[in-house]
Structure 1
Amino acid sequence: MAGIDPAQLKWRVVAPTLAALGLGGDAAVNLLTGTALVESGGVWLAQLGGGPALGLWQMEPATHDDIWRTFLPDDRFAEIETRVRRMTCSDLPRMQQLVGNLRYACAMARLKYYRAPDALPAANDAASLSAMHKRVYNTQLGAADPTTNIAAFRRAIAA
Protein backbone atom coordinates (compact mmCIF):
# COMPACT_ATOMS: atom_id res chain seq x y z
CA MET A 1 0.00 0.00 0.00
CA ALA A 2 1.32 3.45 -0.88
CA GLY A 3 1.40 6.28 1.58
CA ILE A 4 3.61 8.82 3.25
CA ASP A 5 7.16 7.68 3.83
CA PRO A 6 7.52 7.19 7.62
CA ALA A 7 10.89 8.98 7.75
CA GLN A 8 9.52 12.01 5.94
CA LEU A 9 6.45 12.05 8.18
CA LYS A 10 8.66 11.79 11.27
CA TRP A 11 11.30 14.37 10.36
CA ARG A 12 9.36 16.82 8.15
CA VAL A 13 6.03 16.90 9.99
CA VAL A 14 6.06 15.31 13.44
CA ALA A 15 9.41 16.47 14.86
CA PRO A 16 9.09 20.13 13.78
CA THR A 17 5.43 20.29 14.83
CA LEU A 18 6.11 18.93 18.30
CA ALA A 19 9.13 21.24 18.68
CA ALA A 20 6.99 24.25 17.73
CA LEU A 21 4.35 23.08 20.19
CA GLY A 22 6.98 22.78 22.92
CA LEU A 23 6.09 19.11 23.49
CA GLY A 24 8.77 17.32 21.50
CA GLY A 25 11.57 14.90 22.26
CA ASP A 26 12.44 11.51 20.82
CA ALA A 27 9.78 9.59 22.73
CA ALA A 28 7.00 11.97 21.66
CA VAL A 29 8.19 11.98 18.05
CA ASN A 30 8.25 8.18 17.90
CA LEU A 31 4.88 7.94 19.66
CA LEU A 32 3.18 10.33 17.24
CA THR A 33 4.82 8.83 14.16
CA GLY A 34 3.80 5.35 15.29
CA THR A 35 0.29 6.53 16.07
CA ALA A 36 -0.16 7.78 12.50
CA LEU A 37 1.18 4.50 11.14
CA VAL A 38 -1.22 2.49 13.31
CA GLU A 39 -4.27 4.69 12.94
CA SER A 40 -4.21 5.37 9.18
CA GLY A 41 -1.26 3.46 7.82
CA GLY A 42 0.00 6.86 6.76
CA VAL A 43 -2.55 6.57 3.97
CA TRP A 44 -6.15 7.22 4.97
CA LEU A 45 -7.50 10.72 5.58
CA ALA A 46 -10.93 9.54 6.68
CA GLN A 47 -11.86 6.46 8.68
CA LEU A 48 -12.61 3.42 6.56
CA GLY A 49 -16.12 2.10 6.87
CA GLY A 50 -17.65 5.54 7.27
CA GLY A 51 -16.56 6.20 10.86
CA PRO A 52 -16.08 9.74 12.12
CA ALA A 53 -12.28 9.77 12.61
CA LEU A 54 -10.29 12.17 10.44
CA GLY A 55 -6.72 12.68 9.28
CA LEU A 56 -3.56 10.59 9.48
CA TRP A 57 -4.00 10.40 13.26
CA GLN A 58 -7.69 9.43 12.89
CA MET A 59 -8.94 11.78 15.57
CA GLU A 60 -12.65 11.66 16.27
CA PRO A 61 -14.61 14.93 16.25
CA ALA A 62 -15.69 14.43 19.88
CA THR A 63 -12.05 14.14 20.99
CA HIS A 64 -11.05 17.18 18.94
CA ASP A 65 -13.86 19.29 20.35
CA ASP A 66 -13.22 18.13 23.91
CA ILE A 67 -9.59 19.30 23.72
CA TRP A 68 -10.77 22.75 22.64
CA ARG A 69 -13.62 22.84 25.15
CA THR A 70 -12.03 21.45 28.32
CA PHE A 71 -8.24 21.57 27.97
CA LEU A 72 -7.00 24.50 25.90
CA PRO A 73 -9.13 27.17 27.64
CA ASP A 74 -7.35 26.42 30.93
CA ASP A 75 -5.04 29.35 31.73
CA ARG A 76 -2.23 26.90 32.55
CA PHE A 77 -2.12 25.97 28.87
CA ALA A 78 -2.43 29.43 27.32
CA GLU A 79 0.96 29.22 25.60
CA ILE A 80 0.12 25.81 24.13
CA GLU A 81 -3.23 27.16 22.90
CA THR A 82 -1.45 30.07 21.21
CA ARG A 83 0.98 27.70 19.52
CA VAL A 84 -1.83 25.43 18.29
CA ARG A 85 -3.79 28.41 16.95
CA ARG A 86 -0.72 29.48 14.96
CA MET A 87 -0.83 26.10 13.21
CA THR A 88 -4.36 26.60 11.93
CA CYS A 89 -5.63 28.16 8.72
CA SER A 90 -8.24 30.86 9.02
CA ASP A 91 -10.25 29.77 5.98
CA LEU A 92 -11.32 26.32 7.22
CA PRO A 93 -13.09 25.10 10.33
CA ARG A 94 -10.56 23.47 12.66
CA MET A 95 -12.28 20.09 12.44
CA GLN A 96 -11.76 19.98 8.67
CA GLN A 97 -8.09 20.81 9.16
CA LEU A 98 -7.53 17.39 10.73
CA VAL A 99 -7.61 16.09 7.15
CA GLY A 100 -5.35 18.47 5.23
CA ASN A 101 -3.30 20.36 7.80
CA LEU A 102 -0.72 17.82 8.96
CA ARG A 103 0.84 20.15 11.55
CA TYR A 104 -2.51 20.84 13.17
CA ALA A 105 -3.60 17.18 13.14
CA CYS A 106 -0.28 16.12 14.67
CA ALA A 107 -0.50 18.82 17.35
CA MET A 108 -4.01 17.76 18.30
CA ALA A 109 -2.95 14.11 18.53
CA ARG A 110 -0.04 15.14 20.76
CA LEU A 111 -2.45 17.00 23.05
CA LYS A 112 -4.56 13.86 23.40
CA TYR A 113 -1.49 12.14 24.87
CA TYR A 114 -0.34 15.20 26.82
CA ARG A 115 -3.60 15.32 28.77
CA ALA A 116 -3.08 11.80 30.08
CA PRO A 117 -1.25 11.39 33.40
CA ASP A 118 1.02 8.69 31.92
CA ALA A 119 4.69 9.47 31.48
CA LEU A 120 6.03 8.87 27.99
CA PRO A 121 7.79 5.53 27.57
CA ALA A 122 11.42 5.27 26.49
CA ALA A 123 11.87 6.50 22.93
CA ASN A 124 13.13 3.13 21.68
CA ASP A 125 10.63 0.87 23.49
CA ALA A 126 8.21 -0.11 20.74
CA ALA A 127 6.13 -2.36 22.99
CA SER A 128 5.59 0.38 25.58
CA LEU A 129 4.84 2.99 22.91
CA SER A 130 2.25 0.65 21.40
CA ALA A 131 0.75 -0.04 24.83
CA MET A 132 0.49 3.69 25.50
CA HIS A 133 -1.21 4.21 22.15
CA LYS A 134 -3.79 1.57 23.03
CA ARG A 135 -4.35 2.82 26.57
CA VAL A 136 -4.46 6.57 25.94
CA TYR A 137 -5.25 7.19 22.28
CA ASN A 138 -7.22 4.19 21.08
CA THR A 139 -8.72 3.30 24.49
CA GLN A 140 -10.32 0.06 25.65
CA LEU A 141 -13.16 0.53 23.17
CA GLY A 142 -10.90 0.87 20.13
CA ALA A 143 -9.90 -1.89 17.75
CA ALA A 144 -6.13 -1.46 18.04
CA ASP A 145 -4.11 -4.50 19.04
CA PRO A 146 -1.07 -3.38 21.05
CA THR A 147 0.83 -6.59 20.31
CA THR A 148 0.28 -6.49 16.56
CA ASN A 149 1.02 -2.75 16.46
CA ILE A 150 4.51 -3.09 17.94
CA ALA A 151 5.77 -3.48 14.37
CA ALA A 152 4.42 -0.04 13.42
CA PHE A 153 6.15 1.55 16.40
CA ARG A 154 9.39 -0.22 15.45
CA ARG A 155 9.06 1.36 11.97
CA ALA A 156 8.52 4.74 13.60
CA ILE A 157 11.62 4.32 15.77
CA ALA A 158 13.74 3.23 12.80
CA ALA A 159 12.51 6.02 10.50
Structure 2
Amino acid sequence: MGGLDPSDLKWRVVAPVLDRLGLGGAAAVNLLTGTALVESRAARLVQGGGGPALGMWQMEPATHDALWRMMEDAAHADLQTRVRRMTCSDIPRVRQLIGNLRYGCAMARVKYVFDPAPVPDARDADGLCAYWKRVYNSALGAGVVDSVHVAAFAAAIAA
Protein backbone atom coordinates (compact mmCIF):
# COMPACT_ATOMS: atom_id res chain seq x y z
CA MET A 1 0.00 0.00 0.00
CA GLY A 2 1.77 3.16 -1.18
CA GLY A 3 1.12 6.67 0.00
CA LEU A 4 1.11 8.20 3.42
CA ASP A 5 1.80 5.87 6.33
CA PRO A 6 -1.62 4.98 7.83
CA SER A 7 -0.39 5.65 11.36
CA ASP A 8 0.89 9.11 10.40
CA LEU A 9 -2.38 9.86 8.64
CA LYS A 10 -4.45 8.63 11.58
CA TRP A 11 -2.59 10.31 14.44
CA ARG A 12 -1.07 13.39 12.79
CA VAL A 13 -3.94 14.42 10.50
CA VAL A 14 -7.25 12.68 11.18
CA ALA A 15 -7.35 12.59 14.99
CA PRO A 16 -6.30 16.25 15.46
CA VAL A 17 -8.72 17.47 12.77
CA LEU A 18 -11.65 15.57 14.24
CA ASP A 19 -10.79 16.82 17.72
CA ARG A 20 -10.80 20.43 16.43
CA LEU A 21 -14.18 19.82 14.84
CA GLY A 22 -15.53 18.28 18.04
CA LEU A 23 -16.41 15.17 16.00
CA GLY A 24 -13.68 12.78 17.08
CA GLY A 25 -13.56 9.52 18.96
CA ALA A 26 -12.00 6.21 18.03
CA ALA A 27 -14.79 5.14 15.66
CA ALA A 28 -14.73 8.41 13.69
CA VAL A 29 -10.92 8.40 13.53
CA ASN A 30 -10.87 4.84 12.16
CA LEU A 31 -13.71 5.65 9.74
CA LEU A 32 -11.95 8.70 8.27
CA THR A 33 -8.56 6.98 8.13
CA GLY A 34 -10.15 3.98 6.42
CA THR A 35 -12.03 6.26 4.03
CA ALA A 36 -8.77 7.82 2.83
CA LEU A 37 -7.24 4.36 2.44
CA VAL A 38 -10.11 2.99 0.33
CA GLU A 39 -10.71 6.15 -1.67
CA SER A 40 -7.11 6.99 -2.64
CA ARG A 41 -4.83 4.53 -0.83
CA ALA A 42 -3.79 7.75 0.98
CA ALA A 43 -1.71 8.35 -2.12
CA ARG A 44 -3.70 10.11 -4.85
CA LEU A 45 -4.60 13.78 -4.74
CA VAL A 46 -6.81 13.70 -7.84
CA GLN A 47 -8.95 10.89 -9.17
CA GLY A 48 -7.27 8.64 -11.70
CA GLY A 49 -8.79 8.25 -15.13
CA GLY A 50 -9.82 11.89 -15.37
CA GLY A 51 -12.60 11.69 -12.76
CA PRO A 52 -13.64 14.74 -10.78
CA ALA A 53 -12.84 13.57 -7.23
CA LEU A 54 -10.20 15.55 -5.33
CA GLY A 55 -7.88 14.91 -2.39
CA MET A 56 -7.06 11.86 -0.32
CA TRP A 57 -10.73 11.49 0.56
CA GLN A 58 -11.68 11.76 -3.16
CA MET A 59 -14.55 14.20 -2.75
CA GLU A 60 -16.26 15.42 -5.88
CA PRO A 61 -16.68 19.20 -6.27
CA ALA A 62 -20.48 18.84 -6.48
CA THR A 63 -20.53 16.98 -3.14
CA HIS A 64 -18.23 19.60 -1.60
CA ASP A 65 -20.50 22.43 -2.70
CA ALA A 66 -23.65 20.60 -1.56
CA LEU A 67 -22.15 20.08 1.91
CA TRP A 68 -21.42 23.81 2.21
CA ARG A 69 -25.05 24.55 1.30
CA MET A 70 -26.19 22.06 3.95
CA MET A 71 -24.03 23.80 6.57
CA GLU A 72 -25.65 27.19 5.83
CA ASP A 73 -28.60 26.66 8.15
CA ALA A 74 -28.49 28.01 11.69
CA ALA A 75 -28.29 24.51 13.19
CA HIS A 76 -24.88 23.98 11.56
CA ALA A 77 -23.39 27.46 11.96
CA ASP A 78 -20.84 26.29 14.55
CA LEU A 79 -19.74 23.38 12.37
CA GLN A 80 -19.39 25.72 9.40
CA THR A 81 -17.19 28.04 11.47
CA ARG A 82 -14.98 25.16 12.65
CA VAL A 83 -14.55 23.85 9.09
CA ARG A 84 -13.88 27.33 7.71
CA ARG A 85 -10.99 27.68 10.19
CA MET A 86 -9.27 24.80 8.40
CA THR A 87 -9.08 26.74 5.12
CA CYS A 88 -6.59 29.11 3.54
CA SER A 89 -7.99 32.42 2.34
CA ASP A 90 -6.03 32.59 -0.91
CA ILE A 91 -7.16 29.31 -2.54
CA PRO A 92 -10.74 28.43 -3.52
CA ARG A 93 -12.15 25.99 -0.96
CA VAL A 94 -12.88 23.22 -3.45
CA ARG A 95 -9.26 23.32 -4.70
CA GLN A 96 -8.05 22.95 -1.10
CA LEU A 97 -9.36 19.37 -1.09
CA ILE A 98 -6.21 18.56 -3.08
CA GLY A 99 -3.40 19.85 -0.87
CA ASN A 100 -4.93 20.88 2.46
CA LEU A 101 -5.16 17.58 4.33
CA ARG A 102 -6.88 19.17 7.31
CA TYR A 103 -9.61 20.61 5.13
CA GLY A 104 -10.07 17.45 3.06
CA CYS A 105 -10.43 15.40 6.23
CA ALA A 106 -12.86 17.92 7.74
CA MET A 107 -15.08 17.89 4.66
CA ALA A 108 -15.07 14.08 4.57
CA ARG A 109 -16.21 14.08 8.21
CA VAL A 110 -18.95 16.58 7.36
CA LYS A 111 -20.24 14.15 4.72
CA TYR A 112 -20.75 11.54 7.45
CA VAL A 113 -22.28 14.06 9.90
CA PHE A 114 -25.42 14.38 7.82
CA ASP A 115 -26.20 10.66 8.06
CA PRO A 116 -28.51 9.92 11.02
CA ALA A 117 -27.12 6.44 11.75
CA PRO A 118 -24.39 6.09 14.36
CA VAL A 119 -20.85 5.32 13.26
CA PRO A 120 -20.15 1.59 13.74
CA ASP A 121 -17.91 0.37 16.52
CA ALA A 122 -14.29 1.52 16.26
CA ARG A 123 -12.99 -2.08 15.96
CA ASP A 124 -15.54 -3.30 13.39
CA ALA A 125 -13.76 -3.22 10.02
CA ASP A 126 -16.71 -4.84 8.22
CA GLY A 127 -19.18 -2.38 9.74
CA LEU A 128 -17.00 0.66 9.03
CA CYS A 129 -16.54 -0.49 5.43
CA ALA A 130 -20.29 -1.00 4.95
CA TYR A 131 -20.97 2.42 6.49
CA TRP A 132 -18.41 4.03 4.14
CA LYS A 133 -20.05 2.36 1.14
CA ARG A 134 -23.59 3.40 2.12
CA VAL A 135 -22.88 6.97 3.22
CA TYR A 136 -19.71 8.15 1.52
CA ASN A 137 -19.39 6.12 -1.66
CA SER A 138 -23.17 5.60 -2.05
CA ALA A 139 -25.06 3.11 -4.16
CA LEU A 140 -23.92 5.02 -7.25
CA GLY A 141 -20.21 4.80 -6.41
CA ALA A 142 -17.80 2.24 -7.79
CA GLY A 143 -16.66 1.09 -4.34
CA VAL A 144 -17.72 -2.26 -2.93
CA VAL A 145 -17.69 -3.99 0.43
CA ASP A 146 -15.18 -6.75 -0.23
CA SER A 147 -12.09 -8.24 1.38
CA VAL A 148 -9.79 -5.57 -0.14
CA HIS A 149 -11.84 -2.66 1.19
CA VAL A 150 -12.47 -4.29 4.57
CA ALA A 151 -8.69 -4.85 4.84
CA ALA A 152 -8.15 -1.11 4.38
CA PHE A 153 -10.44 -0.41 7.34
CA ALA A 154 -8.63 -3.11 9.32
CA ALA A 155 -5.36 -1.31 8.52
CA ALA A 156 -6.90 1.94 9.78
CA ILE A 157 -7.93 0.25 13.01
CA ALA A 158 -4.46 -1.25 13.48
CA ALA A 159 -2.60 1.99 12.72
Q: What's the TM-score, normalizing by structure 1? A: 0.98
Partner of 2:150: 150
Distance in 1 (alpha carbons) for counterparts of 2:138 and 2:77: 27
Residue by residue over 1:80-106, the C-alpha shift from the partner in whole angstroms, topping out at 9 and shown as x without a partner, is 111111100001000000000000000
- Alignment: residue pair count: 158
Contact 2:71 2:79 (8 Å CA) reproduced = yes
Residue by residue over 1:75-133, the C-alpha shift from the partner in whole angstroms, topping out at 9 and shown as x without a partner, is 11111111111100001000000000000000000010110111110000000000000
- 1:124-139 map, 5 Å: 124-139=123-138
Distance in 2 (alpha carbons) for counterparts of 1:41 and 1:110: 17
Residue by residue over 1:1-25, the C-alpha shift from the partner in whole angstroms, topping out at 9 and shown as x without a partner, is 5310000000000000000001000
| Paired amino acid for 1:138 | N
Gaps of 5+ in 1: none
Partner of 1:122: 121
SS at match of 1:120: coil
| Paired amino acid for 1:11 | W
| Paired amino acid for 1:120 | V
Residue by residue over 1:53-87, the C-alpha shift from the partner in whole angstroms, topping out at 9 and shown as x without a partner, is 00000000110000111x11111111111111110
Partner of 1:85: 84
Shifted more, 71-80 versus 42-51: the winner is 71-80
Contact 2:2 2:41 (8 Å CA) reproduced = no
Q: What's the TM-score, normalizing by structure 2? A: 0.98
Contact 2:137 2:143 (8 Å CA) reproduced = yes
| Paired amino acid for 2:64 | H
| Paired amino acid for 1:107 | A
Distance in 2 (alpha carbons) for counterparts of 1:140 and 1:73: 26
Residue by residue over 1:11-60, the C-alpha shift from the partner in whole angstroms, topping out at 9 and shown as x without a partner, is 00000000000100000000000000000001000000000000000000
Distance in 1 (alpha carbons) for counterparts of 2:97 and 2:6: 18
Distance in 1 (alpha carbons) for counterparts of 2:145 and 2:113: 19
Contact 2:67 2:110 (8 Å CA) reproduced = yes
Distance in 1 (alpha carbons) for counterparts of 2:145 and 2:112: 16
Distance in 2 (alpha carbons) for counterparts of 1:28 and 1:147: 21
- 1:1-150 map, 5 Å: 1-69=1-69, 71-148=70-147, 149-150=149-150
Q: Which runs of 4+ in 1 moved over 6 A?
A: none
